[in-house]
Amino acid sequence: MLALLILAGTKPAFADCSLSIFKGSPAVPTAQEASYEEMKKAVSIIQHYIRSAEQVLTACAQLSCFSYNYHIGRLKSLADGINQQSVRFSNLAKN
């Protein structure tokens, strides 16, 4: 991660601005192991987390385009992960 900060040419203030949002990144439950309530709660928590993280990233004025896109990519991966597990959960519930 430090290498990415150096490559992006960012200032130390960047770390306080955007990296803090990823320290508490919520986990994506696996469809085979989660209950309905656990999956529902995880979807809600992840949606809230992504909205909050997007707001923080938007407020980071010193953020380079590379760093912004990198973090948005991480948020997209998180969203894709919960979406995939939600679909799997629904398919398992139908069977």
Residues 53/74, Cβ–Cβ less than 8 Å: no
What pLDDT does 67 receive?
Answer: 86
Could you read off the pLDDT of 31-83 as tens digits, one per residue? Answer: 999 999 999 999 999 999 999 999 888 888 788 889 889 889 999 999 999 99
* DSSP 8-state assignment for residue 24: T
CB 87 within 8 A of CB 33: no
**How high is the pLDDT of residue 37?**
96
Q: Closest Cα partner for 22 from 58, 75, 62, 73?
A: 75
Place of tokens 């992960």: 81
In 3D, which of 74, 44, 42 has the Cα closest to residue 57?
Answer: 74
